[in-house]
Amino acid sequence: MTSSIRFLMCAPDHYDVDYVINPWMEGNIHKSSRERAVEQWQQLFHLLKDHAIVDLVQPEKGVPDMVFTANAGLVQGKTAVLSRFFHKERQGEEPFFKAWLEEHGFTVHELPKDLPFEGAGDALFDREGRWLWAGYGFRSELDSHPYLARWLDIEVLSLRLMDERFYHLDTCFCPLADGYLLYYPPAFDAYSNRLIEMRVPEAKRIAIAEEDAVTFACNAVNIDRTIVLNKASDKLKQRLAEVGFRVLETPLTEFLKAGGAAKCLTLRVTEPVQANVHASATVESRVVRMDGHLLDAGLINQALDLIVDGGGSFQVLNFSLGEQRQSTSSAEVKVTAPSHEVMESLMSQLIDLGALPPPEDVCDSILETVTQAGVSPDDFYVTTIYPTQVRVQCEWVKVRGQRMDAAIVVRETPHGLDAYCSLLRDLQVGDRVVVGVEGIRTIRKTESREQRNTQEFSFMGAGVSSERRVELVVEQIAWELRQIRDQGGKVVVSAGPVVIHTGGGEHLAHLVREGYVQALLGGNAIAVHDIEQSMMGTSLGVDMKRGVSVRGGHRHHLKVINTIRRYGSIAKAVEQGVVTSGILYECVKHNIPFSLAGSIRDDGPLPDTQMDLIKAQTDYARLIEGADLILMLSSMLHSIGVGNMTPAGVKMVCVDINPAVVTKLSDRGSVESVGVVTDVGLFLSLLVQQLNKLTSPYRVA
């Protein structure tokens, strides 16, 4: 017997499965045998007494899980951190454990109210005492980790649990003597696995299979070279024997019904303090502010969800709820992340939602210099569609050329500071690029509630309308198009060949002719099919009037390409009177610029199709500039391309028969985009009808 090691246990006098707070307990209410539980517990107790001293805490009625003393708290030297149970079912145990710890001379620290931490179930010392592994995700909050670091003066390594069957760290993770580690890697997220691999050399990591994980092989009590556990496969026992560990199995099936086994039933109360080890918190915290219609617009939920989903935790420090319908709310949220890396990723997502760092915080965002043309320094801030500002010399500077997926370049010019979005490929050696997340903010317009309601009616938020509502949306869009035309605004249309196949060609041609379109974006195909229809009356060989295939018609489109190639360009073919109608014809006739971006599947291509995609992108971007509305007609490829180049504030209408495309494009998190799931030919015909109604004199039928 090693008298220097002590464990705390609690006899199962009142043990039972009374409620369900983990997946193991499901279906097991009152299904465990008290008698067998007592017998199994006794066996474990005697086994441990061969190796250590076992102290007992008095079992109490009404708290059946008190047998799991691992959850009493976390103990090191004479310091204890009392558990704060996540579930109210177990909170009744707290005073009993507190009393025991105090009676036995421990200084007991208590976490702030509502900050859960479940003791040694979620916090395991490296057996050499070099650091503390702490779990979070189900029972313990990440925010409790800095307290552990401070009170125990030890480095805390936070591990995020992902599988609810392994809801406590000690169900899937067991540090062993001499730096070995027994664990079940799939129970952790990728970041935690990387952390484990960085700290524990490969030769010392014993990763177990699911088969062993579900018999709680990791829920083991390790004393020197002995491991006491419920059950392990032969393979695992052999693996452990190879590295010098002896496994003692002792059945604990009755306790498995409550989701616990050997380790859960014990608390090691002799954990030595290492003199040379000190706190260093990898856990980072930051405070951000959010303003706006936080509840109405769902912003606060989005923010808090993204923090938790991203592996962090939060504390809402202040929330002031706007009292009137029009008033905005504001919140201050403390964000905690297990590492700097995770913090940066959380912060950049929060910035995209409009969260602000506290005002006085930073005077300059961090800039790094480009050393290779077309390549940014790592860690550059990736832009969104929202208006963005960066902090330079204690001033907020507005970023020019806002678009998605760019880097921000900052420079000093004779006229002052300049910040602009630059694609990676356009970066020049010497450019100064914003990196990290310091001193960046995005501006989300806070529409008042009234405004949003009416806009939602007209533009249906970011929603996707059903067939029944198509006509309604068309009315609104027609109105919008007329307004823009009358005010000399700019409408850009991006369109795919489906427009022609569904009979929408003549309607789109009408829109161009009547001055509703100021630029056309597409690919090779829409132009080919448009001209095919104009010259031969077919679209991909199908007669557009009768809807049947024309003999030999499948070659029509190639003949068309050939003809246009002969004339050198679409415009020239129009001038020569070869093309006499259609969308492209109208564009040429009315001087409406168009850009056709090539792709791998293009036939021909037409001389007008830009096969250099970088040039095509630049061309698209140029034509989009200053647009008031973009009408995206059935081309996922071109529409998504356009979406990426377009800043927030430009209205977008996306029409496609495929709801997935519409959802993708209308999900710009704002009221400015509307999706219409319908046949594009039908949509265009309704639109033209509606525009005619709006413009022709009112007549009684």
CB of 273 to ligand ARG, least distance (A): 23
> Residue 252 interacts with ligand ARG (CB under 6 A)?
no
> Residue 444 interacts with ligand ARG (CB under 6 A)?
no
Q: Report whether 329 contacts 373 (CB < 8 A).
A: no
CB of 683 to ligand ARG, least distance (A): 55
**What's the maximum distance between 2 C-alpha atoms anywhere in the chain?**
105
Kindly state the DSSP code that residue 557 receives in the 8-state scheme: H
CB of 663 to ligand ARG, least distance (A): 39
> Residue 97 interacts with ligand ARG (CB under 6 A)?
no
Q: Residue type for 314, please? A: F
Distance from C-alpha of 478 to C-alpha of 595, rounded to nearest angstrom: 24
Residue with tokens 């380790």, as numbered in its chain: 263
> Residue 170 interacts with ligand ARG (CB under 6 A)?
yes
E strands, 496-591, are: 519-523, 538-539, 542-543
Q: Residue type for 415, please? A: H
Of positions 259, 311, 497, 605, contacts ligand ARG by CB under 6 A: 259
CB of 191 to ligand ARG, least distance (A): 22
Instruction: Give whichever of 195 and 264 is closer to ligand ARG, judged by the CB atom.
Output: 264
To the nearest 10°, report the CA torsion of 580, 583, 588, 589: 60
> Residue 71 interacts with ligand ARG (CB under 6 A)?
yes
Adjacency order of strands within the sheet including 388-392: 366-369, 432-435, 407-413, 416-422, 395-400, 388-392, 440-442
Nearest CA-CA partner of 160 in 125, 185, 131, 181:
185
Q: Which of 264, 421, 587, 654 is catalytic?
A: 264
Instruction: Give whichever of 65 and 254 is closer to ligand ARG, judged by the CB atom.
Output: 65
The residue sitting closest to ligand ARG, measured at its beta carbon, is 121
Contact code string over 211-250 relative to ligand ARG, x by CB under 6 A: ----------------------------------------
Q: Which of 168, 293, 501, 557 is catalytic?
A: 168
- CA 268 vs CA 144, 167, 503, 527: distances in Å: 20, 20, 77, 76
> Residue 349 interacts with ligand ARG (CB under 6 A)?
no
Of positions 7, 22, 182, 529, contacts ligand ARG by CB under 6 A: 22
Q: Let me know if 87 is a catalytic residue.
A: no
- CA 445 vs CA 328, 331, 381, 454: distances in Å: 12, 17, 21, 16
CB of 119 to ligand ARG, least distance (A): 8
CB of 264 to ligand ARG, least distance (A): 3
| φ, ψ of residue 260 in degrees (nearest 5) | -140, 165
Instruction: Give whichever of 22 and 250 is closer to ligand ARG, judged by the CB atom.
Output: 22
The gap from C-alpha 47 to its chain's centroid, in whole angstroms, comes to 48
Instruction: Give whichever of 72 and 433 is closer to ligand ARG, judged by the CB atom.
Output: 72
Peptide bond into 497 cis (omega under 30): no
Q: Report whether 436 contacts 344 (CB < 8 A).
A: yes
Instruction: Give whichever of 258 and 587 is closer to ligand ARG, judged by the CB atom.
Output: 258
> Residue 121 interacts with ligand ARG (CB under 6 A)?
yes
Beta pairing, strands 181-183 & 205-207: parallel
Of positions 73, 260, 338, 647, contacts ligand ARG by CB under 6 A: 260
CB of 67 to ligand ARG, least distance (A): 9
Instruction: Give whichever of 116 and 598 is closer to ligand ARG, judged by the CB atom.
Output: 116
Distance from C-alpha of 691 to C-alpha of 238, rounded to nearest angstrom: 80
> Residue 168 interacts with ligand ARG (CB under 6 A)?
yes
Instruction: Give whichever of 239 and 268 is closer to ligand ARG, judged by the CB atom.
Output: 268
Q: Let me know if 264 is a catalytic residue.
A: yes
> Residue 171 interacts with ligand ARG (CB under 6 A)?
yes
Instruction: Give whichever of 68 and 683 is closer to ligand ARG, judged by the CB atom.
Output: 68
Contact code string over 46-65 relative to ligand ARG, x by CB under 6 A: -------------------x
| φ, ψ of residue 334 in degrees (nearest 5) | -90, 125
SS3 214: coil
Nearest CA-CA partner of 639 in 495, 500, 497, 504:
495
Of positions 9, 10, 21, 248, contacts ligand ARG by CB under 6 A: 21
CB of 19 to ligand ARG, least distance (A): 9
> Residue 573 interacts with ligand ARG (CB under 6 A)?
no
> Residue 10 interacts with ligand ARG (CB under 6 A)?
no
Distance from C-alpha of 27 to C-alpha of 663, rounded to nearest angstrom: 40
Among the listed ranges 164-172, 207-215, 228-236, 397-405, the one in contact with ligand ARG (CB under 6 A) is 164-172
CB of 169 to ligand ARG, least distance (A): 8
- CA 420 vs CA 294, 412, 435: distances in Å: 29, 12, 14
Q: How many residues bind ligand ARG (CB under 6 A)?
A: 15
CB of 86 to ligand ARG, least distance (A): 8
Distance from C-alpha of 293 to C-alpha of 307, rounded to nearest angstrom: 19
Q: How many of the other CB atoms lie within 10 Å of CB of 546?
A: 10
> Residue 605 interacts with ligand ARG (CB under 6 A)?
no
Residues that bind ligand ARG (CB under 6 A): 21-22, 65, 68, 70-71, 90, 121, 168, 170-171, 258-260, 264
The catalytic residue positions are: 168, 264
